Structure 1
Amino acid sequence: MRWTLKQQPDSSKIEALQNALQVDPVVATLLLERGIETFDEAKKFFRPSLNDLHNPFLMKDMDKAVARIEQAIANHENILVYGDYDVDGTTSVALIASYLKTKYPLVYTYIPNRYDEGYGISLKGINFALENDFTLIIALDCGIKAVEKVAYAKEQGIDFIICDHHRPGSEVPNAIAVLDPKQDDCNYPYEELCGCGVGFKLIQALASKDGQTVEDLVAYLDLVATAIGADIVPINGENRVLAYFGLQVINSNPRPGIKAILEQVHKTELTITDVVFIVAPRINAAGRMKHGNYAVTLLVETDYEKALLHAKEIDDYNSDRREEDKRITEEALNQIIENKEEHNLTTVVYQEDWHKGVIGIVASRLTETYYRPTLVFTKSGNKLAASARSVRDFDIYNVLEACSEHIEQFGGHKYAAGLTLKEENYQAFKQAFEDEVSKTIDRSLLVPEIKIDAQIDLKDITPKFYRILKQFAPFGPQNMTPVFMTDHLQDTGYGKCVGEDKTHLRITVKQPQSNSLVAIGFGMGDKYDIISDKKPFKAVYSIDENEWQGNVSLQLKLRDIKDINEIDG
């Protein structure tokens, strides 16, 4: 692990913010690192308000989208709400469909089959619309690159409204409206919305035409918060407001489908991290193992008893997904070793029978193991399909662009993408991918990095300090859980390896003139020697609460530990 202390803000700025807010210098430092420099900015950060959401009509084509939907309702047209099969897509479809059905009955949903249609807008989906007399398709979390498909639909008399958040290509589809804040000519003030966030802006605009305000739409924010967490978008600006209020809905009055998921895991107060690791995988499992329709059915269900049955079905898919994930990860790791590719700068593996719905998760697992740009391929029809994952600060999308002569189709983000290619191009692509990464990556990025917000002493960790830290939530990209470093630590002598297989480390740490604190390091049992015999060491950690037999106490959640003399970086 590389330990990197973030560049500390100017001391005069720390002092000014400290005095304005009456907080300690560490809190002022954390705020400045997040771009918060004034009392008013801090107030907006700590007290998110629905009034801070932008006017949806600032988004390019929003007026056209609203007018076309109003026209469809006035003319009694059939409306098809079409979305991707992942969490962002299925929550988006559930959001738009359930909202429109409060106004108008002729609203139907369509999720493409991951296996015979693939990602995004498909010809099969358009032909389904044609055969069933749909004249308007609202595409969510996809469509920004579907130039030919949208043109084909137009020839058949079907209009498209595209709500997407992925990067546009050189040409934008000729749709009635294209809502995507990442378009160069879109002046919307916030670019980082997820697909469900763009969908929410559309219902916000539609509702305003009916004299409603954003307060009337709060019940939909459980879906938006789930998508924000699952899609790993920045949790700053507008996303922070949407996630903050969405979590309140999840924790107080979630829709029956989400409530049914939570019933299975017996969890009450959820954080955004819980949404990512508990709610999102179950919603995703439907599209991975069976069909994304199952997720939409669960999320739009209004009867709680029926929702419980749908949730049980989806939980079974999630169990199947876990088994496949474990098996394929083991096979992929063996393939890397057999091919003697442990020392490559990239991981590219392929097996034709790997489950297409799981290769994205496997790519993430392999990235965790070898920490390098990773692609996992499987056979999909007469082509190969892959999921791509990257390491922090390295843009895998740009690498795919550079290798595009070998690729049939690709799309995605800086850190995650998908692609298809012809089987005969696999070896040439694999070599081109390795060459391009070798040419462009800074080698230091191939060592996992822990970014440290501040160096503190144990005496700084007080209940009041932790109460303020909790108000930094919800956490996520651009507002990660604060990470601290403390030097000259000692175990009190009771440190031990814990867990069934003794893979975790539990220690009680102290510094001179400080109270002791319990620290837990998951998967860090092999570092026991660093802390044994009361040897001095240093640690990087976040702070959380431990509840045991009704007692709540602060504890350190270790990220890494090092010998006191080991050089950081």
Structure 2
Amino acid sequence: MRWKLKPKPDSDQVKSLQNLLNVDELTATLLVQRGIKTFEEARQFFRPKLEDLHDPYLMKDMDKAIVRIEKAIENQERILVFGDYDVDGTTAVSLVSSYLKSYYPNVDTYIPDRYDEGYGISFKGIDYAEDNEITLIIALDCGIKSVDHIAYANAKKIDFIICDHHRPGNSLPDAVAILDPKRQDCDYPYDELCGCGIGFKLIQALGQNRNETIEDLIPYLDLVATAIGADIVPITGENRILAKFGLDVINSNPRPGFKAITQNVKKKELTITDVVFIIAPRINAAGRIKHGNYAVRLLTEFGFEEAEAFAKEIETFNADRKELDKQITIEALSQIITNKEEKRFSTVVYQEDWHKGVIGIVASRLIETYYRPTLVFTKSGDKLAASARSVKDFDVYNALEACSEYLEQFGGHMYAAGLTLKEEQFENFKNQFEKVVSETIAEELLVPELLIDAEINLTDINEKSMRILKQFEPFGPMNMTPIFMSKNLIDTGFGKTIGQDDEHLKLFVKQGNSEGFGAIGFKIGAKLDLTANRQLFQAAYSIEENEYNGNVSLQMRLRDIKEN
């Protein structure tokens, strides 16, 4: 790994914040690194309030969206809430549909089939609306580039409200309203909401029309927090507020679906990390293995026994997903090893029988081993479909855009995207993608970067510093768990490898006369030799609480170690 110490922020700003907040230098440094320089910014960071959420009507077209929904309700029209099959889409559909159904019955939901219809708005979904006399579709987490689909719907006199957070194309669809803060003509103050977040702004505006307060909408925030964590959007601004209050709901009064998923988790309080690794994969597994409708049914079920039955089904899907992604990863790695003599800046693998539902996960797994912008292809009908994943600081969406002449369609973000192409264009695309990546990526980006917030001494770690660090939560993009480095460390002789194949490292670390700390490092067991015979080493780590037999102690979570 390539260790990179963040530059020290301006000392005057750090000192000023120290004095304003009466905190130590390290805390002030961490805050300034996160762009927090005033008392009010620190207040919003440490004490987020629902009242700090922006007025939803600041979003372009929100007024048009609300007028059209109110008109539909007044005229007793049937409304279809449509969304993608991933966590962001299914939580968004669950949120908007359950809110509307709380006072209006003529609401239906639609999740496209990953294999039959693919990502986003589908012609089949529009035909479903026509067959069921639906005249208004609210599309969530998709639609911003669906120009042809919206034209098709308009010809059938079906109106669309698009709620999306992806980057628009060159032209916008001809919808009644398009809610997307990434529109160039939208002045909404925060443009990093996820699809479910846009859905929440929609129900916030609807609620204002019904004289509801923001407190009335708190029960829906567990869905928003889950989508924020799963969709890897920055946990800043509004996302930080929504994530914090959503986690409170998950921990204090979860909906039956979440309660059914987490009932066997032995933790007092779930973090955003737990949401990402426990709740999100199970919701995703429904759409990957069977159908996203299972997730919506789980998340909108109000009876616990029924939710528990749905959760058991989804647990089975998740077990199947794990087995599939393990097998496909092995097969994909063998393709890379076969072509290893060839120096490449990208990884592109293809096998026609790979399960489309797990190729995104496989792409992430391949990056763990071969750190390159990665695409995993499979056959999908008469075309090839791929999931793309990227390395830190490289925009894979822009790279795909530069290859768009070979693509049928594509969409996504800087770090994750999806695409389809005709099979005869595969080699042309593969060669062009490699060319684009090789010409635009800095070579240093091909080595994983470990970004370190500050160098500290072990004497800086104590219960008080841990209490302050916990107030930095929830962690995520733009507010990652602080990583520290320390030099002149020794293991006191208890160092060993643990786990299957001895892949993990367990130490007891001291620095000079400091108190000793337990330390655990996952997948770095091969570095045990660096700590042998009390030789000095340096470590990059985060600090966490370790609970064992009812006792809580501070522990170093090792990210990497190297010679002193």
Name the TM-score, length of structure 2 as normaliser. Answer: 0.99
Q: Are residues 500 and 441 of structure 1, via their aligned partners in 2, closer, same or farther at CA, if it must alter by over 3 Å? A: closer
Task: Quote the residue 1:417 is aligned against.
Answer: 417
User: What is the one-letter code of the residue matched to 1:472?
Assistant: F
How far apart are the structure 1 equivalents of 2:484 and 2:300?
A: 42
How far is 1:501 from its partner? 2.9
Task: Quote the residue 2:349 is aligned against.
Answer: 349
What SS class does the counterpart of residue 117 from structure 1 fall into?
Answer: coil
How far apart are the structure 2 equivalents of 1:401 and 1:466?
A: 44
What SS class does the counterpart of residue 142 from structure 2 fall into?
Answer: coil
Task: Quote the residue 2:507 is aligned against.
Answer: 507
How far apart are the structure 2 equivalents of 1:197 and 1:439?
A: 36
Task: Quote the residue 2:541 is aligned against.
Answer: 541
How far apart are the structure 1 equivalents of 2:303 and 2:266?
A: 20
Tell me whether 1:486 sits opposite 2:486 in the alignment.
yes
Q: How does 1:370-449 map to 2 (within 5 A)?
A: 370-449=370-449
How far is 1:41 from its partner? 1.1
What SS class does the counterpart of residue 113 from structure 1 fall into?
Answer: coil
User: What is the one-letter code of the residue matched to 1:274?
Assistant: D
How far apart are the structure 1 equivalents of 2:341 and 2:74?
A: 61
Tell me whether 1:340 sits opposite 2:340 in the alignment.
yes
How far apart are the structure 1 equivalents of 2:51 and 2:147?
A: 36
How far is 1:40 from its partner? 1.6
What SS class does the counterpart of residue 387 from structure 1 fall into?
Answer: strand
Task: Quote the residue 2:151 is aligned against.
Answer: 151
Q: Deviations over 1:121-144 (max 9, x none)?
A: 000000000011000000000000
Task: Quote the residue 1:244 is aligned against.
Answer: 244
How far is 1:498 from its partner? 1.8
Q: How does 1:138-537 map to 2 (within 5 A)?
A: 138-340=138-340, 343-537=343-537
User: What is the one-letter code of the residue matched to 1:512?
Assistant: G
How far apart are the structure 2 equivalents of 1:434 and 1:501?
A: 35
Task: Check the 8 A contact 1:336/1:342 in 2, yes or no.
Answer: no
Tell me whether 1:553 sits opposite 2:537 in the alignment.
no
What SS class does the counterpart of residue 76 from structure 2 fall into?
Answer: coil
What SS class does the counterpart of residue 482 from structure 2 fall into?
Answer: coil
How far is 1:524 from its partner? 1.2
Identity of aligned residues (%): 68
Task: Check the 8 A contact 1:379/1:385 in 2, yes or no.
Answer: yes
How far apart are the structure 1 equivalents of 2:140 and 2:40?
A: 35
How far apart are the structure 2 equivalents of 1:36 and 1:337?
A: 46
How far apart are the structure 2 equivalents of 1:496 and 1:24?
A: 35
Q: Deviations over 1:55-96 (max 9, x none)?
A: 000000000000000000000000000000000000000000
What SS class does the counterpart of residue 105 from structure 2 fall into?
Answer: coil
How far apart are the structure 1 equivalents of 2:545 and 2:408?
A: 49
Q: Are residues 266 and 305 of structure 1, via their aligned partners in 2, closer, same or farther at CA, if it must alter by over 3 Å? A: farther
Task: Check the 8 A contact 1:59/1:179 in 2, yes or no.
Answer: yes
What SS class does the counterpart of residue 411 from structure 1 fall into?
Answer: strand
Q: How does 1:28-177 map to 2 (within 5 A)?
A: 28-177=28-177
Residue range with higher mean Cα deviation, 16-25 or 271-280: 16-25
Q: Deviations over 1:349-404 (max 9, x none)?
A: 00000000000000000011101000000000000000000000000011101111
How far is 1:268 from its partner? 4.1
How far apart are the structure 2 equivalents of 1:31 and 1:131?
A: 55
Q: Deviations over 1:439-463 (max 9, x none)?
A: 0000000000011101100000010
Task: Quote the residue 1:567 is aligned against.
Answer: none
How far is 1:503 from its partner? 1.6
What SS class does the counterpart of residue 8 from structure 1 fall into?
Answer: coil
How far apart are the structure 2 equivalents of 1:369 and 1:215?
A: 46
How far apart are the structure 2 equivalents of 1:504 and 1:364?
A: 20
Q: Deviations over 1:187-218 (max 9, x none)?
A: 00000000000000000000000101111100
How far is 1:311 from its partner? 0.3
Aligned residue pairs total 564
Q: Are residues 342 and 48 of structure 1, via their aligned partners in 2, closer, same or farther at CA, if it must alter by over 3 Å? A: farther
User: What is the one-letter code of the residue matched to 2:177?
Assistant: A
How far is 1:513 from its partner? 2.8
How far apart are the structure 2 equivalents of 1:482 and 1:267?
A: 22
User: What is the one-letter code of the residue matched to 1:530?
Assistant: L
User: What is the one-letter code of the residue matched to 1:553?
Assistant: S
Q: Which runs of 5 or more structure 2 residues have no equivalent in the other structure?
A: none
What SS class does the counterpart of residue 485 from structure 1 fall into?
Answer: strand
Task: Check the 8 A contact 1:262/1:268 in 2, yes or no.
Answer: no
How far apart are the structure 2 equivalents of 1:197 and 1:107?
A: 20
What SS class does the counterpart of residue 424 from structure 2 fall into?
Answer: helix
What SS class does the counterpart of residue 137 from structure 2 fall into?
Answer: strand
Task: Check the 8 A contact 1:62/1:179 in 2, yes or no.
Answer: yes
How far is 1:266 from its partner? 4.4
User: What is the one-letter code of the residue matched to 1:74?
Assistant: E
How far is 1:264 from its partner? 4.3
How far is 1:548 from its partner? 1.5
How far apart are the structure 2 equivalents of 1:110 and 1:368?
A: 35
How far apart are the structure 2 equivalents of 1:217 and 1:193?
A: 17
What SS class does the counterpart of residue 274 from structure 2 fall into?
Answer: helix
How far is 1:4 from its partner? 0.5
What SS class does the counterpart of residue 65 from structure 1 fall into?
Answer: helix
How far is 1:267 from its partner? 4.3
How far apart are the structure 2 equivalents of 1:256 and 1:230?
A: 19
How far apart are the structure 2 equivalents of 1:124 and 1:40?
A: 50
How far is 1:500 from its partner? 4.0
What SS class does the counterpart of residue 400 from structure 2 fall into?
Answer: helix
How far is 1:495 from its partner? 1.1
How far apart are the structure 2 equivalents of 1:87 and 1:229?
A: 10
Tell me whether 1:12 sits opposite 2:2 in the alignment.
no
Name the TM-score, length of structure 1 as normaliser. Answer: 0.98
User: What is the one-letter code of the residue matched to 2:501?
Assistant: D
Q: Are residues 116 and 93 of structure 1, via their aligned partners in 2, closer, same or farther at CA, if it must alter by over 3 Å? A: same
How far is 1:499 from its partner? 2.3
